[in-house]
Chain A
């Protein structure tokens, strides 16, 4: 995944048919949040992390870590989402790499509970 691949494009953060638009600065902020989180949680140099870094195999990440990240995203952007909805999405579309978690985080901020209907 390229770092620009998940961007909605330039534009304000706002509501659009139930979907929140995300400008490039916000998308970069979310990306930084995810990378900083995994670097701190896993005690690794952020510079060694890439989109392709596998969270379970390479960082020994787990569901608790993922939920802690989700809480950060949820609080920071005021997202209403149910865990059951997200879990259903993840069963269809697992997020195995940091890049996939960035994409998922962007989708959660954009769509909230509607993320279950989003194809990443």
Chain B
């Protein structure tokens, strides 16, 4: 059992929180193509993962964040419109939210945290801002 505690420095009222956990090894299967899920990952994310030094972790982090974002939004969102670039050890990955998705989220700010425990990655996503 692992726990993690952190504070949020986000501004504005909390509009949603999402949490997801994924096993990193599931993104390191022999024979998988460079982009195993083109419906989820953009080519930029796949390129980043391939050059990150730990492709499985980078893809796992991106998947985890997208799932957490889906949960925070409380409805389906365009997974490819939120690109996630996590290097090994990153607690706060780089994210790029496309304009359409940003509008879909009503202009809410997106704050992401990652932590790793026992071969799993956990992502939290906070959506904040005035409606």
User: What residues on B are CB-neighbors of A88 within 8 Å?
Assistant: 75-76
Contact B37 A71 (CB under 8 A): yes
Contact A63 B67 (CB under 8 A): yes
Majority SS of interface residues in chain A? helix
Q: Which of the residues A64, A70, A71, A91 comes within 8 Å of B76, measured between beta carbons?
A: A91
User: What residues on B are CB-neighbors of A64 within 8 Å?
Assistant: 22, 26, 63
> Interface on B for A, CB 8 Å cutoff?
22, 26, 36-40, 63, 67, 70, 75-80
CA distance A82 to B78 in the complex (A): 8
CA distance A64 to B27 in the complex (A): 10
Q: Which of the residues B38, B67, B78 comes within 8 Å of A84, measured between beta carbons?
A: B78
A83 within 8 A of B: yes
A54 within 8 A of B: no
Give a binary string over A65-100; 1 marks a CB under 8 Å from any B CB, 0 the rest.
Answer: 001101100100000011111011001000000000
With A82-B78, A83-B79, A87-B76 as given contacts, are A67 and B40 in contact (CB-CB < 8 Å)?
Answer: yes
User: What residues on B are CB-neighbors of A63 within 8 Å?
Assistant: 67
CA distance A83 to B78 in the complex (A): 7
User: What residues on B are CB-neighbors of A74 within 8 Å?
Assistant: 39
User: What residues on B are CB-neighbors of A87 within 8 Å?
Assistant: 70, 76
Max chain B Cβ within 10 angstroms of own Cβ: one of A64, A85, A87:
A64
CA distance A71 to B38 in the complex (A): 8
Contact B36 A71 (CB under 8 A): yes
CA distance A13 to B67 in the complex (A): 35
The smallest beta-carbon distance between A82 and chain B, in angstroms, is: 7
